[in-house]
């Protein structure tokens, strides 16, 4: 298997697990908020960490979800080109799209590690976990998006048709 194929396959599996992860965080968030409601009327002392836990679940769900919607091309566009236009300008379109993603996401990836280090060592208000772990999603998000973008750039039409069929 050559490198190009490898990246396409990595991107495909990454997306599969991102989707599972995002769904898990969504369910967890739902359960934590529900626990809050039950606790307020069921127990004497409602737990204080549910709100914070739910909030972090929301952020992880949201950014993992953003990688999924990128992979599945579900983000809104301002202009929907015709089939003919797409065929004619296929390569330039791919390049411009890759460029846009890189220009947005690269600074986030580049400054991600130092950001995580700055946040590390500080505890969250009620859960008492290191803030460094909670913000890991930011560099993670940028890396996943770059993997998907690279895969999309180098994949053939056949690849794209294949991975949309295989999983969805």
Site string for other proteins, 20-49 (x = CB under 8 A): --xx--xx-xx--xx-xx---x--xxx-x-
Q: How many CA atoms lie within 13 A of 138 on its CB side?
A: 19
Q: Are 101 and 151 in contact (CB under 8 A)?
A: no
Tokens linked to 91? 């390569």
- Tallying the residues shown for the chain, one arrives at 168
Q: By CB under 8 A, is residue 160 in contact with other proteins?
A: no
Residue 123 CA from chain centroid, whole number: 24
Q: Are 54 and 96 in contact (CB under 8 A)?
A: no
Q: By CB under 8 A, is residue 87 in contact with other proteins?
A: no
Q: Looking at 6-14, 97-105, 153-161, which segment touches other proteins (CB under 8 A)?
A: 97-105
What's the min distance (Å) between Cβ of 8 and other proteins? 20
Sign for the CA dihedral angle at 27, 30, 36, 37 comes to negative
Q: How far apart are CA 151 and CA 6, in angstroms?
A: 9
Q: Which residue has the tokens 């039950």?
A: 38
Q: By CB under 8 A, is residue 120 in contact with other proteins?
A: no
Phi and psi, residue 2, nearest 5° = -80, 170
Q: Contacting other proteins (CB under 8 A), which of 7, 8, 138, 151?
A: 138
Q: By CB under 8 A, is residue 97 in contact with other proteins?
A: yes
Q: By CB under 8 A, is residue 100 in contact with other proteins?
A: yes
What's the min distance (Å) between Cβ of 2 and other proteins? 27
Q: By CB under 8 A, is residue 11 in contact with other proteins?
A: no
**Helix, strand or coil, per DSSP, at residue 123:** strand
Binding site for other proteins (CB under 8 A): 19, 22-23, 26-27, 29-30, 33-34, 36-37, 41, 44-46, 48, 51, 54-55, 58-59, 61-70, 72-81, 89, 92-93, 96-97, 99-101, 103-105, 107-108, 111-112, 114-115, 118-119, 121-123, 125-126, 135, 137-139
């Amino acid at each position: 298997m050559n490198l190009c194929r490898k990246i396409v396959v990595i991107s495909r599996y990454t997306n599969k697990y991102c989707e599972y992860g995002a769904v898990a965080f969504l369910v967890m968030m739902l359960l934590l908020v529900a626990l809050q409601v039950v606790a307020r009327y069921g127990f004497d002392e409602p737990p204080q960490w549910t709100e914070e836990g739910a909030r972090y679940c929301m952020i992880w769900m949201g950014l993992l979800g953003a990688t999924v919607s990128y992979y599945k091309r579900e983000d809104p566009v301002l202009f929907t080109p015709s089939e003919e236009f797409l065929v004619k300008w296929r390569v330039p379109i791919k390049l411009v799209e890759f460029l846009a993603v890189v220009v947005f996401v690269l600074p986030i990836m580049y400054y991600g590690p130092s950001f995580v280090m700055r946040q590390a060592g500080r505890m969250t208000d009620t859960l008492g976990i290191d803030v460094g772990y909670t913000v890991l999603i930011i560099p993670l998000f940028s890396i996943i998006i770059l993997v998907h973008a690279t895969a999309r750039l180098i994949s053939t039409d056949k690849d794209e048709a294949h991975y949309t069929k295989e999983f969805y």
